[in-house]
Amino acid sequence: MLKRILGLFKGKKNSGGDRQDKPRLSFSGNFKKNEELLREVFRDCGDVKTKEVTIPALGGRRAILRYVEGLINTDTLHRDILAKLLERGKEAKDIGELVAAGEVTVTADAWQYAADVLMGRVGIIVQGENRAHLIEAKDWPKRTVEEPLQERLIRGPREGFIEVVQDNLALVRRRLPDPNLKVIMFEVGRRSKTKVAMLYIEDVCNLDTAREIAKRIRAIDIDNLLESGCLEELIIERTWSPFPQMLQTERPDKVAAGLTQGKVALITDGSCFVALAPASFNDFIQVPADYYMDYLSGTIARAIRFTGLFMGTTLVAAYVAVLSFHYEIVPTNIVVFIAETRAGVPFDPLTEALLLEFSSEILREASIRLPGPIGPTLGIVGALILGQAAVAAHLVSPIMLVLVALTFILSSIIPNYEASTAVRYLRFPLILAAGFL
């Protein structure tokens, strides 16, 4: 009974409630009816432009072109499509023989026609045909390839992924011109039709892992896929874990290195982050610069990160535990010094640590959300002026303030932002355990 109830709940969740698939709309040989059908499909879509032409090469038959302004290359439209369709003096059997643009596909489904037009293709309906031609002419607005913001290196390439899946694929393929590098494309999202590319090296990767990831991607039933983080959440198993289970990176060289190690890469259209799976905890500590310098320097850098990770997680909790229960293990002169600094502080060590940690997280979130010129100013005001004022008013002790500030800095030593966030949040249960256990 319990399995049946859970199965019903799962089925209802995947089906999206009362949503139903759209019925299939097929084109007919009647040009007028096809035009009325498409006019209804694109009703109130002001960005969809329509142009009617007469094609001499097809015996003077009429045709209607539709495209989305801003998603296509206007030079391709006028030079390689319209100019070829209006050219006189030659004959052709269909549109594919006339245009000089990119890939030309054919469909008899009006919904598929509409989806392709809204994704940057030019759709053509010809009089007397019960199908439509779709011509590739995409030219989406996008930013140029530039240095990643979160994973900057002193030594290494300065290229980072952008939000277009085709360009990201090119950045990886340029680094791995290997025919064993396989690329499988998916469409995720009933409405968004988001392109997702799965990459793996066939003779290096565990093919069972690649098949399992592909199976989970095909099983996704969602209206809109916005970012690679949403894709990760939909295909992982342990959703309650604060630690990331896939390595998200902006660097093509890091993805190329992960692929040669047997990992699977997932590139999501609309996101500048690429997910690598499976990922171990050591992957979140390493950076590509560790391999671009000598062995000794890279090893020392990784050791410093691991030490900073341990200190940033346990330093405040250990201080709270020592002051609350185990002060006898501290030398007498240090105990006296700590007692003098805590004179007049109204809070116990546990409450004081929680207040300061919570205030530091609020300061971090506020500095991220504020505009660029104001963020550094807020950090200076919050960290220096307010901290000094709190110590002068005997609200907090200077040693606790120094330790919280140190852990605030140490939490940023982890190169991966998701792992750094998980470590930061891990401090709170450790502090609570140190104060009560």
| Predicted pLDDT at 67 | 92
Give the range among 56-60, 162-166, 201-205 with minimum mean pLDDT: 56-60
| Predicted pLDDT at 15 | 37
| Predicted pLDDT at 379 | 65
Give a yes or no: residue 146 inside a domain.
Answer: no
Q: Are residues 104 and 74 in the same domain?
A: yes
Bridge partners (DSSP) listed for residue 200: 182
Give the range among 149-163, 190-204, 251-265 with minimum mean pLDDT: 149-163
Give the range among 38-52, 60-74, 207-221, 283-297 with minimum mean pLDDT: 283-297
Residue 256 has pLDDT above 90, yes or no: yes
165 burial (CB, 10 Å; 0-12 / 13-18 / 19+) is: buried
Give a yes or no: residue 69 inside a domain.
Answer: yes
Residue 287 CA: distances (Å) to CA of 245, 255, 302: 17, 12, 9
| Predicted pLDDT at 117 | 92
Residue with tokens 């409405």: 191
Tokens read off for 221: 């039933």
Q: Are residues 276 and 194 in the same domain?
A: yes
Residue with tokens 């120094």: 402
SS (H, E, C) 286-325: CCCHHHHCCHHHHHHHHHHHHHHHHHHHHHHHHHHHHHHC
| Predicted pLDDT at 21 | 57
Give a yes or no: residue 175 inside a domain.
Answer: yes
Q: Are residues 81 and 97 in the same domain?
A: yes
Give tens-digit pLDDT for 102-136: 788 899 999 889 989 998 899 999 998 889 999 98
Q: Are 288 and 153 in contact (CB under 8 A)?
A: yes
| Predicted pLDDT at 372 | 65
Give a yes or no: residue 299 inside a domain.
Answer: yes
399 burial (CB, 10 Å; 0-12 / 13-18 / 19+) is: middle
What phi and psi values does residue 397 have, to the nearest 5 degrees? -90, 150
Would residue 128 be called left, alpha or beta, if left means φ above 0 and alpha means ψ between -120 and 50 degrees? left
Instruction: Over range 48-75, report the average pLDDT.
Output: 89
Instruction: Over range 155-162, report the average pLDDT.
Output: 88
Q: Are residues 325 and 284 in the same domain?
A: no
Tokens read off for 12: 């209802």
| Predicted pLDDT at 219 | 92
User: Cβ atoms within 10 A of the Cβ of 106, count?
Assistant: 13
Q: Are residues 251 and 312 in the same domain?
A: no
| Predicted pLDDT at 60 | 87
| Predicted pLDDT at 360 | 84
Q: Are residues 419 and 380 in the same domain?
A: yes
| Predicted pLDDT at 259 | 94
CA separation for the pair 406, 194 (Å, rounded): 42
| Predicted pLDDT at 186 | 94
| Predicted pLDDT at 6 | 40
CA-based nearest residue to 150, from 239, 11, 273, 43: 273
Q: Are residues 309 and 426 in the same domain?
A: yes
Residue 25 has pLDDT above 70, yes or no: yes
Residue with tokens 């892992």: 209
In DSSP notation, 345-366 reads: --S-HHHHHHHHHHHHHHHHHH
Q: Are residues 90 and 35 in the same domain?
A: yes
Which of 290, 319, 339 delimits the end of a domain? 290
Give tens-digit pLDDT for 77-99: 888 888 888 888 777 777 878 88
Which of 290, 325, 349 delimits the end of a domain? 290
Confidence of residue 14 (pLDDT cuts 50, 70, 90): very low
Give the range among 64-73, 134-143, 183-192, 366-375 with minimum mean pLDDT: 366-375
| Predicted pLDDT at 359 | 85
Which of 290, 305, 331 delimits the end of a domain? 290
User: Cβ atoms within 10 A of the Cβ of 208, count?
Assistant: 8
Rg for the chain (alpha carbons), in Å?
Answer: 30
336 burial (CB, 10 Å; 0-12 / 13-18 / 19+) is: exposed
Q: Are residues 338 and 367 in the same domain?
A: yes
Q: Are residues 298 and 419 in the same domain?
A: yes
Bridge partners (DSSP) listed for residue 85: none
Give tens-digit pLDDT for 368-392: 777 766 666 666 666 677 778 888 8
Q: What is the number of domains present in the chain?
A: 3
More confident residue, 357 or 101: 357
Tell me what the pLDDT averaged over the chain comes to. Answer: 85
Q: Are residues 88 and 101 in the same domain?
A: yes
User: Which H or E element spans position 374?
Assistant: helix 374-380
User: Which H or E element spans position 6?
Assistant: helix 2-15
| Predicted pLDDT at 59 | 84
Q: Are residues 214 and 260 in the same domain?
A: yes
Residue 176 has pLDDT above 90, yes or no: yes
Give the up-direction half-sphere exposure of residue 258: CA atoms within 13 A in the CB hemisphere: 30
Residue 100 has pLDDT above 80, yes or no: no
| Predicted pLDDT at 382 | 65
Give a yes or no: residue 109 inside a domain.
Answer: yes
Q: Quote the domain boundaries for residue 370.
A: 294-436
